[in-house]
């Protein structure tokens, strides 16, 4: 995936700049057309001549060194690049990009390019953990920059920890794998619900269920990876999303999830309700903690709104998928739910089966669409199941469009 690609390698001023020489060599050996751009401070560690000899191209350092009067160099190379790699990426260059500072050729070019940008940080372990650096990296990830995490080990400063520039082979492999991802959901807006809900009894007690949110979060991560604009409505869970591009809406109760799902529904192309929403809630919420009594305590319950059914009733062009977590006759119950709630697809699983229950990292499911086409997915990770579900949805939507 790098052969015949135009690769701009940006080298900033850290001792790990020597690894960028090996990276240049390996990229060139694999057929990439490599041009190197260095910050002035990086030339204190490695000579531009070294990169010129290996890449067989002139090296960019000075913004005002315009060798061809018919072109503006930093704009020309920004347009030329298919891929941009910043390795090593110091805290300084990361901060510049995140804050739109363009005071040398590399930072100026980064503002102008529309290529995929991969950032491979390298710095002291405490610098890497500094709140400012973390904030800048999150900002850049949210804008669509890709990070190649540094490794753990002995650092030039004498510390041992996270901050070593990843090895050239690993950097190339990460880029190759990312470049091979099919952005089949690009341009789609995907709405996903995940996790449990909580229904309050009194100030210290509530009713909930065993859902961890792992399946819904895996779907959100996979959809974002494949180019979708994702909104994730999440119940109370310890799960975190790794992609800051995912819009997360946190809720607690079934009513709050109902409101959030309906608020974002009309603008969505694909809706996946993976959340385990309470079917009932206490009819009366006590404002004070209920004390123990000498007799049984009966809680009167009332139905919550059926989120999935109401979405199925009002859908227009949305592709709506539900989940059916069952403990007996799962396929029969799932098919009834598919029809009753006017769904386009349903993911059915028996949560009493080993490896398929709540809270685990694996699942076993059957996907069925409204045309009764079904596909069983054997025991595997929830990430892999998320990938397959999205593939099925994309296939069905394309079939409908024909």
Catalytic residue positions, numbered = 157
CA quadruple 252, 269, 213, 309: dihedral sign: positive
How does 284-313 read in b/e, with b if 16+ C-beta sit within 10 Å?
A: eeeeeeeeeeeeeeeeeeeebebbbeebbe
Measured between its terminal Cα atoms, the distance across the chain in Å is 31
Nearest CA-CA partner of 180 in 3, 360, 357, 379 = 3
Yes or no: say if 393 and 370 are a contact pair by the CB < 8 Å rule: no
Nearest in space to 142 (alpha carbons), one of 241, 222, 10: 241
**Neighbour count for residue 66 (Cβ, 10 Å):** 13
Longest pairwise C-alpha distance within the chain? 92
Q: Are 37 and 59 in contact (CB under 8 A)?
A: yes
Dihedral pair phi/psi, residue 225, rounded to 5°: -60, -35
Distance of CA 26 to the CA centre of its chain: 29
Query: What are 313's strand-pairing partners?
Result: none
Q: Answer whether the bond into residue 88 is a cis peptide, omega within 30°.
A: yes
């Amino acid at each position: 995936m790098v052969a015949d690609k135009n690769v701009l390698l940006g080298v900033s001023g850290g001792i790990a700049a020597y690894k960028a020489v090996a990276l240049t060599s390996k990229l060139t050996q694999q057929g990439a057309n490599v041009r190197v751009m260095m910050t002035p401070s990086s030339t204190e560690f490695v000579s531009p001549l070294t990169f010129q000899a290996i890449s067989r191209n002139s090296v960019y350092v000075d913004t005002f060194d315009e060798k061809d009067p018919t072109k503006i160099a930093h704009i020309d190379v920004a347009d030329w690049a298919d891929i941009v790699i910043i390795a090593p990426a110091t805290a300084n260059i990361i901060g510049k990009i995140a804050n739109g500072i363009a005071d040398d050729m590399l930072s100026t070019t980064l503002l102008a390019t529309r290529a995929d940008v991969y950032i491979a940080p390298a710095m002291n372990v405490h610098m890497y953990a500094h709140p400012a650096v973390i904030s800048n990296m999150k900002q850049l990830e949210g804008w669509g920059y890709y990070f190649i995490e540094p490794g753990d080990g002995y650092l030039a400063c004498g510390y041992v920890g996270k901050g070593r520039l990843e090895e050239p082979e690993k950097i190339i492999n990460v880029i190759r794998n990312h470049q091979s991802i099919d952005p089949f959901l690009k341009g789609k807006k995907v709405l996903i619900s995940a996790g449990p809900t909580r229904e309050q009894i009194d100030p210290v007690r509530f009713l909930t269920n065993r859902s961890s949110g792992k399946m819904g979060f895996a779907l959100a991560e996979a959809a974002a990876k494949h180019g979708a604009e994702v909104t994730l409505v999440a119940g109370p869970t310890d799960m975190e999303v790794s992609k800051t591009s995912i819009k997360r809406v946190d809720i607690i109760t079934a009513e709050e999830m109902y409101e959030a799902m309906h608020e974002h529904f009309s603008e969505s192309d694909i809706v996946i309700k993976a959340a385990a929403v309470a079917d009932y809630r206490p009819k009366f919420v006590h404002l004070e903690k209920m004390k123990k009594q000498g007799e049984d305590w009966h809680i009167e319950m009332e139905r919550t709104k059926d989120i999935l059914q109401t979405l199925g009733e009002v859908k227009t062009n949305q592709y709506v998928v539900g989940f059916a977590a069952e403990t007996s006759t799962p396929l029969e119950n799932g098919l009834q739910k598919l029809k009753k709630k006017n769904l386009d697809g349903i993911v059915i699983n028996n949560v009493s089966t080993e490896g398929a229950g709540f809270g685990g990292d694996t699942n076993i499911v059957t996907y069925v669409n409204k045309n009764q086409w079904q596909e069983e997915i054997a025991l595997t990770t929830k990430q892999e199941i998320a990938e397959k579900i999205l593939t099925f949805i994309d296939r069905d939507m394309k079939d409908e469009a024909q």
